[in-house]
């Protein structure tokens, strides 16, 4: 078994979730740098966009539930702290997203696998992938 396959398996273990759609997981873990060559490869950018919104919605709902008497002005800073790129990057690093990423050799060489922005984006892409894989998405969403 190669290093990346082992890292993907370990990531699923830490997530506590095994993907039914393996292609969706691969797309969530594929950095845009993979498409730098002649072949266009599906990457995680659109999933990152969706995951950011899913995370925001779920955290907003949780905050409203846990702090039912709080005003919007009190909730907004909490939301911003929980859904920030820095928080997503820390979570991604903690669960081992970096080693599971699929990226070009040149991106790996310059340290992109450990870069906060790359980790944060991959974290958001994984959130969208879990959302889609569980069947929670409305029929209107087609990626």
Active site residues: 52, 124
3-state secondary structure at position 135: coil
* Partners of 102 in the β-ladder: 30
User: What's the rounded Cα separation, in Å, for the pair 37 and 105?
Assistant: 11
Where would I find the H helices in the chain?
3-15, 22-28, 45-66, 72-82, 85-95, 97-100, 105-109, 116-133
Token pair for 119: 């980790």
């Amino acid at each position: 078994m190669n290093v990346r396959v082992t890292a993907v398996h370990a990531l699923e273990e830490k997530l506590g979730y095994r993907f039914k759609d393996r292609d969706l997981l691969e797309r969530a873990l594929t950095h845009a740098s993979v498409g730098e060559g002649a072949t266009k490869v599906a990457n995680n950018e659109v999933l990152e966009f969706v995951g950011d919104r899913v995370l925001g919605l779920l955290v907003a709902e949780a905050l409203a539930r846990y702090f039912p008497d709080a005003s919007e002005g009190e909730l907004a800073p909490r939301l911003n702290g929980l859904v920030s790129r820095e928080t997503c990057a820390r979570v991604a690093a903690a669960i081992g997203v970096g080693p599971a990423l699929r990226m070009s050799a040149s991106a790996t060489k310059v340290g992109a696998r450990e870069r906060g922005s790359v980790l944060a984006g991959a974290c958001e892409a994984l959130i969208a992938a879990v959302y889609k894989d569980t069947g929670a998405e409305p029929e209107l969403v087609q990626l």
